[in-house]
Amino acid sequence: MIPHILRTALFGTEKQSLDTQTLPNALQASLARIATQEAETVLLQAITLSHFYEESGRKPPIFEGNQNPEIIVEEQAEAPEVYQQLYPSIKELPPFARFACMYAWLDGFVRLGAIPSPDNTITLLSDFTNYPQHIQAKIALCLGKKGRMLLPFYSDFQAEETQPDAQIWEEGKLKERRLVFQKLRQQNPAEAIALLEKTWQTETLPEKKAFLEEIAKTLVSSDIAFLENLWLMFAFKSQEKKAHKEIRWLLTGLLMRFTTSNVYQQLTNELKTYVQAEKSKGVLGWVGKTELSFALPTSDDAFFNAQSMEERWGLLTPKDYDNLPSAHTYWLSNLLEIIPMNFWENVLQKNTEEVVKYWQQDLYCHSIDRKKYPFLQKALIQNALHFGNQHLASVLCQQKDWVNFASVLPLLSQAEREKLILQHKVHTDAFILNTCFEGTQEIWSIHFSKEIIKACHELIFKRSGYISEALIALLSAHLHPSSIAFLESLDTSIGQHQHLRLHWQQRIVDTLVMNSAIREKIATLTQ
């Protein structure tokens, strides 16, 4: 709009009169033909004339972006239409049972080396924010070039960069660089270390810590030289930062996984000095039998003291000792986490079960209301996780209070996990089942699947209970397809209440049958 007219209109004719002399000649001539003296009418006429004057004959503006674009060509073909058409059926599944199926469907695109159709791309993008992160990541992976270019319009999700890895390593953010490093570690650990060595000096302490955490996930024997070199670099310095100490402790833990490392030798040699022979308890003691034990000092000595722990190994001592009885038990607990189980087996001359029992004896228990609570349990769990010690995990899970050790369940083989669940009769415990199978694509054995189905049936029809959404989600993800017929065959006439029968039929049977049918189609179409 012509500025003078706009200004007059905004302020109003009461405050600002319109000077028609300032308008283009064509408008002046037109306004002159309309003989009127009323200021408001003159302005309204001027507004009208200038509006159509400006609208007519205008030229469209010129695009300021890249006028020589590279035409986007998809490198992958669209998946067959019959495969694309599965999406509406997946969306019909209840949300809690949908994700496993959705993941399998998206995974199918990856296996087919194909991409979703344009219509499905838009639908997936529109639904994007309704999905959990692992599904979002999978969608981003499946989309074609056009879909990935549209993704920023729907979410701030960071799709995997299409830039070369070397460029991301040089210019990317820590999150992106970590992904590059992770990928390279999986392909060639030594090459990843070589890459990290090149930039190590310029990395910040949090970055160094992040890359060491990545190394911990894929530790190999060839890493030892690099880590020992770092160990020297991170030796105690006066006025060192807290992060510096934390990295030293991280390195201690990593180097303890190599029996040939200097750290392992030094630390275990120190600890061996605390092992001593003691008279056995009870009758064996009377006949002069001795037993090896670890004599944890009750006051500071040359090894067990805060300064030594911090300066030599990087272990900081919190004021509350992490709710452990003393500083000494705190240090022991932390050392127990990073020292391999076979060290204790050798020095104490015990097998794994006995070592576990040893660290749970009364001496290492809190006593509350005459009950004993072993406080080194967390250390034992961390030890199993740190070393990926399946045998230790198995021993811990055989204990009476095995539920407290649930976090080590994923270390066990699938058969062991299934056996454990059946043995402890926790078929419908969604927490335990989730801990055992979350994030895996494992399909349960037929026997196990049937046992779980049977337990669910019993819960509903004999104990008038309901099956949680979390449990149905697990059934959707892991149930063996051959157990579906068994599921459908179960008797529902024994149910006393209509709502329970409906719960069984609609929530469980219908959902799982539909889920199974879709997954079967996915499997057939991606073979």
Could you list the residues that contact another protein (CB under 8 A)? 1, 5-6, 9-16, 38-41, 43-45, 47-48, 50-52, 55-67, 69, 71-73, 88, 92, 118-119, 121-122, 125-126, 145-147, 149-150, 152-153
Residues 6+ apart with CB under 8 A from 344: 350, 355, 358
How near is the Cβ of 468 to another protein at its closest, in Å? 24
How far is Cα 55 from Cα 1, in angstroms, rounded to an integer?
Answer: 9
CB 429 within 8 A of CB 472: no
Cα–Cα distance measured from residue 107 to residue 125, given in angstroms and rounded to the nearest whole number? 17
Residues across the chain: 527
Cβ(427)–Cβ(455) below 8 Å: yes
Tokens for 220, please give them: 């190999």
The distance of Cα 320 from the centroid of its chain, to the nearest Å, equals: 30
Shortest reach from residue 156's CB to another protein, in Å: 12
* Residue 10 beta carbon to another protein: minimum distance, rounded to whole angstroms: 5
5 vs 332 by CB, closer to another protein: 5
Shortest CB 40 distance to another protein, Å: 4
CB of 365 to another protein, least distance (A): 58
- Which residue, 301 or 510, is less far from another protein as judged by CB? 510
For the bound state, the minimum distance from the C-beta of residue 146 to another protein, rounded and expressed in Å, comes to: 5
Name the minimum Å distance from CB 483 to another protein: 24
Quote the radius of gyration of the chain (alpha carbons, Å). 35
Q: Which is nearer to another protein, 51 or 424 (CB)?
A: 51
Q: Of the two residues 63 and 288, which places its CB atom closer to another protein in the complex?
A: 63
Name residue, tokens 């080396």.
113
Q: CA dihedral in degrees (214, 220, 226, 231; nearest 10)?
A: 80
Q: Pick between residue 7 and residue 425 the one whose CB is nearest to another protein.
A: 7
- Of 41 and 259, CB closest to another protein: 41
User: 303: which residues sit within 8 A by CB, 6+ positions away?
Assistant: 270, 273
Complex with another protein: residue 122 or 347, whichever CB lies closer: 122
Please, which residue, 122 or 513, has the CB nearer to another protein? 122
CB of 63 to another protein, least distance (A): 5
Query: Residue 75 or 491: which CB sits closer to another protein?
Result: 75
* Whole-angstrom distance, CA of residue 165 vs CA of residue 188: 14
Long-range contacts of 503-510 (CB under 8 A, 24+ apart): 503/460, 503/466, 503/467, 504/457, 504/460, 504/461, 507/94, 507/467, 507/472, 508/456, 508/460, 508/467, 508/472, 508/475
Give CA–CA dist 278/317, Å, rounded. 30
User: What is the separation of C-alpha 434 from the centre of its chain, rounded to a whole number of angstroms?
Assistant: 14
Q: How far is the CB of 319 from another protein (least distance, A)?
A: 50
